[in-house]
Amino acid sequence: MAMQAARRLASLKLQRRLLLPSQAESPSISIPTAAAAAAFLHSHATSFGYKQVREEDKSKLVGNVFSSVASSYDLMNDLMSVGLHRLWKDRLISKLNPFSGMKHLDVAGGTGDVAFRVLERVKSVGHRAMQGTLTETEEGTHIYVCDINPNMLNVGKKRAAERGYSEEHCLSWIQGDAEALSFEDGSMDGYTIAFGIRNVTHIEKALSEAYRVLKQGGRFLCLELSHVDVPIFKEIYDVYSFSMVPAIGELVAGDRQSYQYLVESIRRFPNQEKFAQMIQEAGFQRVEYENLVGGVVAIHSGLKL
């Protein structure tokens, strides 16, 4: 009996060494404390929906999402918003008030929805001003579409060709990062970003870059899904978002997971007041926001003075 007990004790000790090696036994392996793990997570992680991921991994994960949904992105926007996203973008352009000869940057706008609206508004203004002679009024106008995802840009280029827009004349497609834009300081009259800023890793960097590339007097406009503040409506919206949107994504785009992320990313985005404060801290003045549909979306704006 004593011999069996000794063997059993030795076996347990061996298992303990294999599962939980001490520093003395295995100096190259250490088990972090809960406090150390929390500190690492705080300093090196960011949100991807409700998950915490390493900062360097987020852009890749977001890129995978939009590569997956690129071909059905516009259709899904129509279905998820019951077509309202078109009116929201029209309102965005109305607040931008495009003019002939402007240099405008649309970030995270790969499919061209906002850029096309800017060009159409410039043509409309030019048509009224020149009584049908568009060439002179459009001269100098240039819209730059910047998106980090090449799949989204390819969709936009195809749509542009279908509309007869010439890239050499007034429209350019640039693959780039909102946090590190390739444009010169003070080179743009306007900057828009629609449904894109919540997907960047560092919102502050994206805002700083927006401020840098704008001219004095240039306007920043951001259309983003935001926070509903009407209690009953919020409950209905939450049920719709978490139950219906991923289901629609699975049915139409064959991708439930990407749309689950999109819903979660909205909830992690700063509320209207906090985001307005962040825009001010980036240097913008006359910062304001307009809630649409009870805060389902908000248009934030600011001027570089």
The response to whether 177 counts as a known ligand-binding position is yes
Who's near 52: CB < 8 A, 6+ residues apart?
Answer: 41, 45, 46
Tell me, what amino acid is at 56? E
Helix (H, G, I), strand (E, B) or coil at 44: helix
Q: Structure tokens of 118?
A: 């800017």
147 is in an annotated binding site: yes
Q: How many CB atoms lie within 10 A of CB 211?
A: 18
Q: Is 90 annotated as a binding residue?
A: no
Q: How far apart are alpha carbons 120 and 36 in whole angstroms?
A: 55
Contacts of 61 (CB under 8 A, 6+ apart): 48, 53
Tokens of 137: 């009024």
Length of the chain: 305
Query: Annotated binding site, which residues?
Result: 111, 147, 177-178
Query: Annotated binding site for S-adenosyl-L-methionine, which residues?
Result: 111, 147, 177-178
